[in-house]
A and B are shown apart, each in its own frame.
Chain A
Amino acid sequence: MSSTIVFDAETIPALTEQKPQTPWGRRTGKFRLVVVLAIVIPALIVGSLFMFSTLPGAVIMVAVYFPLQIIATVLAAISVRGTKSAGDAVIIVSAIGATIFSGIVLISLLWSIITKGIQAMSTAFIFQNNEYISPSTPLGYGGIGHAVLGTVLIVGISALIAVPLGVMTALYITEVRGRAVPYVRFFVQAMSGVPSVVAGLFILTVLILTGVLNNSAFAAGLAYSILMLPTVARTAEEVLKLVPEELRTGALALGSTRARVALRVVVPAAKTGIITAAILGVARVVGETAPLLLTALKNDKTVLNPFSEPISALPTYIFTNVAQPYPDAVLRAWGAALALMVIVAVLFTVTRVLSAKRPGK
């Protein structure tokens, strides 16, 4: 360049006619042809297999279509972009395949629950209990009322125990300056790995076999709280950590005790998060069956006293109706599964909504 150039819009007539474009989206004819071939040829091969062979669909998809599609995509990629893109082709096809696989599983699950569960649904089903019902009784009589109540009682008891304990544990980890804090975190983490059957065995050994407690809702609630506490504690800890330090310092500067800071400032600031932690804890346990089988056993009647006798909850109801030779009993299991799934879905949605509303998220 010999001297400076000053911008003058007039010299650029094209400027006014310019439209935003995405030239990187344009593809050559060769590219398009190759993509079409890479999709169509495997599909044709697989389609004809579906029509003319007796192999089950899933096998065709996994054993034939998937490798074929990979090979086709790899060849397409190499022809357009060179050998180094072969790895990418494999990954992309595999990743899409994994996603489709997971999607199919989830859809199958939800589909079965909804379509089969609906068949058992009726007002009677929701509210009645199973007291006079045997597995061979047709639908229309008896229901999950007692089991729903059982779930509410047992989960309620465990929430009453585990939520305060969990929040206090979280408070200890975030608010107290102690040397024991990392150990507490470690133990809480270890506790979250306790299998549900072991939690049931523990309560069984310590409280039921020794005669302190009956097989009851209360015993089951204790077993559930072992599973709930780590979830509540960990979520609450994360949420409490999000509360800005300035709030605490400001309150201390005003002459507040640490206790008041924690209870009057930090906890209210993290209110929504703590509720979320509690709900997550509930969602964690609401479907656990093994502890119930060991501590609350089973009962077809409606039970109101949480200390006195065995009680059924929704998971127990499902469990006892599976593998029955009577199709109606099986449908009852599906119906209960649908009810349980609705509860889980509601809890899940509430958690998501609450998390989205949280300020600073």
Chain B
Amino acid sequence: MSDVEAPVLRDLQSAATSHRGDRIFNRTIAAAAFTALIVLGGITIFLGAQAIPVLQQQGLAFLTTSEWNPPDYGIWGMLYGSVLLAIIALVIAVPASLLLSVFMVFLAPKPLATVLTNLVDLMAAIPSVIIGLWAFYVLAPVSEGWQQLMNQYLGWIPIFQNDSGNFSGTPFTAGFVLAIMMIPIVTSVTREVLGRTPPELINASEALGCSLWSMLRYVALPYGRGGLVGGVMLGLGRALGETIAVFFVLKIVFDPVNYYKIIESGGGSVATLIVSKFGEASGPYETQLLLAAGFFLFMMTLVVNVIANLIVNRTGRLQS
């Protein structure tokens, strides 16, 4: 069969799956593997299907206005609020996590570092409803006191203004709670990234007589840049989607939208909106509105997550 003059390439690939058992196996696990795709697609399609009639009914005003008085509904305040809370959380959590991981990787003696690693991971495992419970009864009262002082001494700065005298249910408290939930996640990733700085680079900088600060600035942080950004974004995704802990400490207000007064009572969060209105949804249309809101929340977190993973994957490959 084979030609004497020119070599004929043999087919190697189809032999690999010619065995019937292998074929069944491959198909089964392939089917399982595509569950992820099916679920993601399903969420997009089915929630999107709820969003379409809502947008038709409300128009773009659903996304650009902020109110919840039938028949007018708009979630702009909630979308903005989710972002504002995430920013507050980031401002608190990112420096704290970075410093905590620097301590764990470069400063702490080994036994202490191991204990801290386990404690941080334990903290990441604490369910959000428990953190919400603690936030409501322990953190919130204390936080009100802090905010009063912030208003007293720093009230001339616009973000620390408070016109109502009410310091409960503020974006600051909610953002602080989110930060507490973000810190373990971001610290875990950051710690791993910093720990992976090649020892020969650290040796090189030690031999050159560097200080801790310059080693971090010129060696460890640039090397781990991708992983660090990815870790922060993963924490951000979590913060945007967090529902229950925020539910207990934030007062949902549609109008007026609280744009910058973080210690003023009242704010927004799409996730919390869904959970808080769900029980009292006065009919299938209101439910549909909440589903539409869920669709937009899903889109927001999906984008953040995808970007985060792209950054982590891309720089991961470069570093090797």
Chain B residue numbers with a CB within 8 Å of A96 are 103, 107
Of all chain A residues, the one with the shortest Cβ separation from B108 is A99
Which parts of A271-315 form the interface with B (CB within 8 Å)?
283, 286-290, 293-294, 315
B264 within 8 A of A: no
A87 within 8 A of B: yes
When the two chains form their complex, are residues B243 and A172 in contact, meaning their CB atoms are under 8 A apart? Answer: no
**Bound state CA distance, A257 and B25, in angstroms?**
10
A side interface size, CB within 8 A = 93
A197 within 8 A of B: yes
**Bound state CA distance, A160 and B261, in angstroms?**
47
**Bound state CA distance, A337 and B133, in angstroms?**
8
B side interface size, CB within 8 A = 91
When the two chains form their complex, are residues A191 and B40 in contact, meaning their CB atoms are under 8 A apart? Answer: yes
Chain B residue numbers with a CB within 8 Å of A209 are 287
When the two chains form their complex, are residues B43 and A169 in contact, meaning their CB atoms are under 8 A apart? Answer: no
When the two chains form their complex, are residues A91 and B216 in contact, meaning their CB atoms are under 8 A apart? Answer: yes
Chain A residue numbers with a CB within 8 Å of B91 are none
Chain B residue numbers with a CB within 8 Å of A201 are 47, 274, 290-291, 294
A101 within 8 A of B: yes
What string of 1s and 0s marks CB contacts (under 8 Å) between B207-241 and chain A? 00001111010000000000000000010010011
**Bound state CA distance, A340 and B130, in angstroms?**
9
Apart from A172-B33, A193-B306: 7 A-B pairs, beta carbons within 8 A = A96-B103, A106-B122, A108-B134, A169-B29, A190-B302, A257-B22, A345-B122
Instruction: List chain B positions with a Cβ less than 8 A from chain A.
Output: 16, 19, 21-22, 24-26, 28-30, 32-37, 39-40, 42-43, 46-47, 50, 95-97, 99-100, 102-104, 107-108, 116, 118-123, 125-134, 136-138, 142, 145-146, 149, 180, 183, 187, 211-214, 216, 234, 237, 240-244, 248, 271, 274-275, 278-279, 287, 290-291, 294, 297-298, 301-302, 304-306, 308-309
Q: Please list 29 pairs of residues, one from A and one from B, whose beta carbons are closer than 8 Å in the complex, sorted by A's number.
A: A59-B146, A59-B149, A87-B213, A98-B97, A99-B103, A109-B123, A112-B138, A168-B29, A169-B35, A176-B30, A177-B16, A180-B33, A189-B305, A193-B237, A193-B241, A194-B298, A195-B240, A195-B243, A197-B243, A198-B301, A205-B50, A206-B46, A229-B36, A258-B25, A288-B127, A323-B136, A340-B129, A345-B122, A348-B125
